[in-house]
Amino acid sequence: MGRSTAVLLTKKKQDTLFERGFKSWCENTSVAIRKRLGVNSSSPLSPYELAAKLSVKVWKLEDVAGLSQETREYLSSAQGDEWSAVTVMVNGEEIILINPTHSVARQSTDLMHELAHIIRKHDAAKVFVSESGYALRTFDERQEAEADWFAGTLLLPRTVLEHCAYNHTPLFTILQDYAISKTLYNYRVRMTGVNRQYRRGIRPQQAA
């Protein structure tokens, strides 16, 4: 497929891209997926477990046959930092290749972003070489925005944010237990308004 994680778009920009009901669908689907995997609605959702449930393999660079040592070294070096994750078809199987140089939190987000594309059945991006020899990739802004938002919701749905806010869970613990970055946490809290809810003293819904 050849995708990399999109930068989080602003709420105003996203609202012009998302169809009505999409955000609610993301929240409901996140809870439904946890239930199907036997995970509490307020517990972490491992993207690796979700990938296994979807029969999607996750590869490291050493799993890719035919890569030269030079290519492996480049892709795992600071020079190759521009790529995050890529989904490819190998013998009819969907396989996600993750950049091993990135942090655990970023790898988690990158993998969930790719899985979001797969769950939403997005069209695969196309890569082609221009006449000048540069590799170019098609980019569907709406699909990238959807995968970006859905991935964030899968990792930190409202049920998780409410649980953490109600129990005054330390930020360090949240980042570690849910394998997410501080940037993603702050973004999800801001977009869902959970902190405003708890300043008004509203209790969370009972977790399943």
Q: Residue 77 carries which DSSP code? A: S
Residue 199 is predicted with a pLDDT of 64
Please state the rounded mean pLDDT for residues 19-40.
94
d(CA 18, CA 182): 25
More confident residue, 31 or 76: 31
Residue 8 is predicted with a pLDDT of 45
User: Among candidates 116, 119, 155, which has minimal Cα distance to 34?
Assistant: 155
Residue 18 is predicted with a pLDDT of 81
Average pLDDT, the chain: 80
Domain spans, the chain: 11-196
Q: Which residue shows structure tokens 């005054």?
A: 168
pLDDT band with cut points at 50, 70 and 90 for residue 78: low
Is the pLDDT at 176 greater than 90? The verdict is: yes
- In the chain, pLDDT over 70 holds for what percent of residues? 71
How big is the chain by its Cα radius of gyration, in Å? 18
pLDDT band with cut points at 50, 70 and 90 for residue 1: very low
pLDDT band with cut points at 50, 70 and 90 for residue 89: confident
**Torsion angle defined by CA atoms of residues 167, 172, 176 and 179, in that order, rounded to the nearest 10 degrees:** 90
* Residue 130 token pair: 């221009």
pLDDT band with cut points at 50, 70 and 90 for residue 71: low
Is the pLDDT at 42 greater than 80? The verdict is: yes
More confident residue, 49 or 71: 49
Is residue 85 a contact partner of residue 99, using CB atoms and an 8 Å limit?
yes
pLDDT band with cut points at 50, 70 and 90 for residue 3: very low
Dump pLDDT digits (tens) for 92-134.
888 898 888 889 999 999 999 999 999 998 776 554 444 554 4
More confident residue, 19 or 157: 157
Dump pLDDT digits (tens) for 179-205.
999 999 999 999 999 887 776 555 555
Q: Which contacts (CB < 8 Å, 24+ apart) does range 189-194 have?
A: 189/161, 191/11, 192/158, 192/161, 194/158, 194/161, 194/162, 194/165
Q: Residue 18 carries which DSSP code? A: S
- In the chain, pLDDT over 90 holds for what percent of residues? 50
